[in-house]
Amino acid sequence: MTGTEISAALATVGAPSLPDEDERVRRTEVAISLVLRIGVVVSLLVVVAGVIDGMVRSPAERTSATLGHSLISRGATFPHSFGSLFTGLGHGDPASIVAAGLLLLVLTPVLRVAVSILTFAYQRDAVFVVVTAFVLAVLIASFFLGTAGG
Amino acid sequence: MSLLAFSLVLFAICLLAGLLGSLLGLGGGIIVVPALTLLFHVDIRLAIGASIISVIATSSGAAAAYVRERITNLRVGMFLEIGTTLGAVTGAYVAGLVSGRVLYIIFAAVLGYSALRMFAGRTQGEGHHDVPPDALADRLRLHSSYYDPAEAREISYRVTRTPVGLGLMYVAGMMSGLLGIGSGALKVPAMDLAMRLPMKVSTATSNFMIGVTAAASAGVYFLRGDVNPYIAAPVAAGVLVGATVGSRLLPKLHSQAIRAIFVAVLLFIAVDMFVKGLA
């Protein structure tokens, strides 16, 4: 065993993971994933805040007998466009706060894909930059293409 | 029923669904949608809209673990997401065009298939030998290796039939967008059987892909008014907590007898959904 092999082996013992390209990428990915996990928690906190706000603000309406039917049937009385969402948020409407929290949640995987483009660009992997950019384009387009039926 | 009571009961039911889903290795969505429609009589489109949000919450919450395990093949996952995201958008559109009854019937079929497949068990093979060559997999550098703790060695594998895998992923994505589920039961065989990835790699990569797939249809559901905040909020929170607790505290169910009971229950639910579709 040569000296370099021994020092390489010692380095592997010291660090549980190999310091190669793959491992660097993987560490970056783990870091991104942890950030996204925080994103999940934050968006759920926004959701919970909105739900509590809704209960505190209009308890009488919320406990009415008609509530059950209005909740389980379609026919939106809650925001379902970016316009109505922002208007609702401006008025501090609880349903809008909940919907905004849910949209933040939906954005976590979108953000993950966006950051992956940078990771592949850093590796100078042009093919995967294009692949990932395409996935991101589909995700973004899905929010603007329209609804088909209703 | 007051909003508070409704939210709490919904949260509790979805917590159980998330727990059961992670125990069985199925997603929460495939249990949440029947729970909402059959127990609460929620319109199936609202149930699907809430479920798709819960799928994203669970996936994003667990993604770090899948990457850390060093089993997930990130390149395969990202490439196949071309298929799943396009499929998911298609599925979300189709869901807006077909009637609720059609959704019940398709859901019943996918639920029945997933339950049976789960019972068939999973072979933990260490990879396939002599896979046919695939120029696309070479070009994309999809071949990889992973460390298997059971065998205490690095197992390398080669990927094949990438175009077939991509096509199957389009179908898996479509089912995800149509039914509001993660559709891991369709993604795993596409990688395991068609592309010849080792079973462990297929499962981990599928779990990694589920959130991105679901995000591609969530926008369509939101704009269509099928994401009711007061249903989606307790559902997402419940499934997330249930799945997290399930994956941390409880070992996977390996007892064939217990699995058989759950499969029977899921098949019963599938029949129930099917009948509701015919009614």
CB B204 within 8 A of CB B234: no
CB B54 within 8 A of CB A44: no
Strand spans (E) along chain B: 144-148, 153-157
Per-residue pLDDT, A15: 42
CA distances in angstroms from A10 to A1, A17, A19, listed in the order given: 12, 12, 13
- Please say if the pLDDT value at position B255 is more than 70: no
Per-residue pLDDT, A9: 47
Per-residue pLDDT, B148: 79
Q: What is the mean pLDDT of residues B100-119?
A: 88
User: Lowest-pLDDT range, A103-117, A120-134, B107-121?
Assistant: B107-121
Contacts of A62 in chain B (CB under 8 A): 2-4
Give residues 219 to 248 of B whose Cβ lies within 8 Å of A.
219-220, 222-234, 236-237, 240
- B102: enclosing H helix or E strand: helix B100-119
**DSSP 8-state assignment for residue A16:** S
Q: What is the pLDDT of residues B165-180, one digit of tens each?
A: 999 999 999 999 999 9
Chain-centroid distance, C-alpha A128: 21
Task: Identify the sign of the CA torsion B224, B169, B104, B30.
Answer: negative
Per-residue pLDDT, B136: 92
> Using CB atoms, which residue from B46, B67, B97 is nearest to A29?
B67
Q: What is the pLDDT of residues B82-102, one digit of tens each?
A: 999 999 999 999 998 999 999
Per-residue pLDDT, A59: 58
DSSP symbols for A114-149? HHHHHHHHHTT-HHHHHHHHHHHHHHHHTTTS--S-
Per-residue pLDDT, A16: 44
Q: Exposure of B109 by Cβ count < 10 A (0-12 exposed, 13-18 middle, 19+ buried)?
A: middle
> CA B26, CA B22: separation in Å to the nearest integer?
6
Percent of chain A with pLDDT over 90: 19
Q: What is the mean pLDDT of residues B138-160?
A: 87
Per-residue pLDDT, A64: 53
Per-residue pLDDT, A88: 87
Residues 6 or more apart whose CB falls under 8 angstroms from that of B8 comprise B234
pLDDT band at A133 (very low <50, low <70, confident <90, very high): very high
> CA A142, CA B232: separation in Å to the nearest integer?
19
Q: What is the pLDDT of residues A18-76, one digit of tens each?
A: 456 677 777 777 777 787 788 888 888 998 888 888 777 765 555 555 556 667 777 76
Q: What is the mean pLDDT of residues A12-18?
A: 44
Residues 6 or more apart whose CB falls under 8 angstroms from that of B123 comprise B199
User: Lowest-pLDDT range, A7-11, A44-48, A133-137, B12-16?
Assistant: A7-11
Percent of chain B with pLDDT over 70: 90
Q: What is the mean pLDDT of residues B21-45?
A: 84
> CA B36, CA B273: separation in Å to the nearest integer?
11
Q: Exposure of B94 by Cβ count < 10 A (0-12 exposed, 13-18 middle, 19+ buried)?
A: middle
> CA A48, CA A61: separation in Å to the nearest integer?
19
Per-residue pLDDT, A17: 43
- Please say if the pLDDT value at position A12 is more than 60: no
Per-residue pLDDT, B40: 85
pLDDT band at A13 (very low <50, low <70, confident <90, very high): very low
Give residues 82 to 111 of A whose Cβ lies within 8 Å of B.
95, 98-99, 101-103, 105-110
pLDDT band at B195 (very low <50, low <70, confident <90, very high): very high
> CA B242, CA B26: separation in Å to the nearest integer?
13
Average pLDDT, chain A: 77
CB B253 within 8 A of CB B23: yes
Say yes or no for a CB contact (<8 Å) between B92 and A142: yes
A/B interface, count of CB pairs below 8 Å: 207
Tell me which of A60 and A114 has the higher pLDDT. A114
Backbone angles phi, psi at A73, to 5 degrees: -105, 160
Which of A29, A57, A64, A71 should one mutate to test binding to chain B, selecting the residue with the greatest count of B CBs within 10 A?
A71
Per-residue pLDDT, B254: 63
For A45, the closest chain B residue by CA position comes to B237
Per-residue pLDDT, B203: 83
Say yes or no for a CB contact (<8 Å) between A112 and B59: no
> CA B89, CA B213: separation in Å to the nearest integer?
9
